[in-house]
């Protein structure tokens, strides 16, 4: 019986040793697992810092490139405002005087996100593009040039919207080419309704294959151009509701006697009031132009 108990004890000791060995193996595996998790956490933190740095840089570049002042154009009042979004960027605007002093161009862009916006901006500000605008190259041709350079950088989910328009003060004809999403209107003095400056081609994407085109409208004294990027409607209230385009149009229509700055501020005030303190996710750019002088149409050379 003693021998049987000794055998049982030996078996028990062996089982204990086996369990201890298994525990050591598990401890080793757990250590390796913890080490791997720690390394992965470190890599994730580095990646987050890198991405955050890139986003911050893109935002800083974007804010730096926005014009701090606009040229004073005799006979036309301009008012602009850029408001950066907290999550999605990509807005850019500028106003260009031509070599031909009787022409002026306005440009607005809206990209799908910060990853695209810096690429779009780098193309928009290239001296060659600015020279082409100032030389008087057609708006549709310039958008085609921009798209040609942008295409290799576009991912499957990326898109960019651009609006380029030119006022010729000889006849106050406004010629424009519009790719993608904007809220753009011609407010004719004395008329109740707004005329939309409709899309001439879709947004620039990796699958874009349309021909670039242009349209034109004629401006008269006290007519206005009101152009806004998509963010004015994409931003949502705390209830998850977007500001309706009908409310935007009503704000513009109800301000016929106000100046360009007052109209711009009224649009932003009504939008902010609707959002009710909710932070903006998307960039917003507002541009208002009004013909102030009597329109004397000159002969076109």
pLDDT tens string 242-284? 999 999 999 999 886 778 999 999 999 999 999 988 988 899 9
pLDDT at 79 over 50: yes
Distance between CA atoms of 19 and 13, rounded to whole angstroms? 10
Rounded mean pLDDT of 142-171? 89
* Other CB atoms within 10 Å distance of the CB of residue 217: 16
> What is the average per-residue pLDDT within 119-145?
81
In whole angstroms, what is the distance from residue 69 CA to residue 189 CA? 27
- Three-class SS state of 188: coil
pLDDT value at position 57? 46
- Partnered with residue 109 across adjacent β-strands are 92, 162
* pLDDT, position 191: 87
Rounded to whole angstroms, how far apart are CA atoms 185 and 203? 18
81-85, 101-105, 125-129, 218-222: least confident range: 125-129
Q: What is the pLDDT of residue 64?
A: 45
| pLDDT at residue 192 in the model | 83
Please report the pLDDT score of residue 81 as a whole number: 92
Three-state DSSP class for 289?
strand
Identify which of 153, 154, 185, 178 has the alpha carbon closest to the alpha carbon of residue 164: 178
Q: Residue 52 is inside which H or E element, if any?
A: helix 2-65
- Average pLDDT for residues 165-175, to the nearest whole number? 94
Cβ(148)–Cβ(122) below 8 Å: no
Q: 71 pLDDT band (50/70/90 cuts)?
A: low
pLDDT tens digits for 7-62? Answer: 666 666 677 667 667 766 666 666 665 666 556 555 555 555 554 444 454 555 44
Scored b (16 or more CB within 10 A) or e, 10-33 reads: eeeeeeeeeeeeeeeeeeeeeeee
Q: Which of 225, 263, 221 is nearest to 75 (CA)?
A: 221
d(CA 88, CA 162): 16
Whole-number pLDDT of residue 32: 66
Helix axes 2-65, 114-124, angle to 10 degrees: 30
């Amino acid at each position: 019986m003693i021998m049987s108990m000794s055998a049982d004890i030996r078996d028990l000791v062996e089982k204990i040793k086996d369990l201890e060995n298994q525990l050591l193996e598990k401890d080793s595996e757990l250590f390796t697992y913890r080490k791997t998790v720690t390394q992965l956490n470190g890599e994730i933190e580095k990646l987050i810092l890198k991405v955050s740095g890139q986003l911050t840089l893109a935002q800083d570049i974007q804010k730096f490139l926005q014009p701090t002042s606009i040229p004073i154009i005799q006979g036309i009042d301009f008012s602009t405002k850029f408001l950066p979004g907290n999550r999605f960027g990509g807005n850019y605007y500028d106003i260009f005087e031509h070599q031909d002093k009787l022409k002026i161009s306005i440009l607005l862009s809206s990209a799908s996100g910060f990853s695209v916006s810096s690429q779009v901006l780098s193309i928009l500000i290239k001296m060659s593009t600015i020279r082409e605008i100032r030389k008087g190259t057609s708006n549709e041709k310039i958008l085609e040039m921009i798209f040609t350079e942008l295409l290799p950088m576009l991912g499957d989910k990326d898109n960019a919207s651009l609006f380029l328009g030119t006022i010729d003060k000889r006849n106050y004809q406004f010629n424009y080419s519009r790719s993608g999403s904007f809220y753009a209107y011609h407010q004719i003095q004395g008329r109740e309704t707004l005329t939309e400056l409709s899309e001439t081609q879709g947004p620039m994407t990796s699958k874009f294959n349309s021909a670039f085109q242009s349209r034109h409208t004629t401006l008269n004294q006290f007519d206005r151009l009101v152009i806004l990027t998509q963010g004015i409607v994409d931003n949502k209230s705390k209830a998850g509701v977007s500001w309706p385009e009908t409310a935007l149009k009503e704000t513009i229509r109800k301000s016929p006697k106000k100046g360009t700055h007052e109209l711009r501020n009224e649009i932003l005030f009504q939008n902010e009031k609707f959002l009710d303190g909710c932070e903006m996710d998307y960039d917003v750019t507002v541009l208002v132009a009004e013909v102030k002088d009597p329109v004397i149409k000159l002969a076109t050379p």
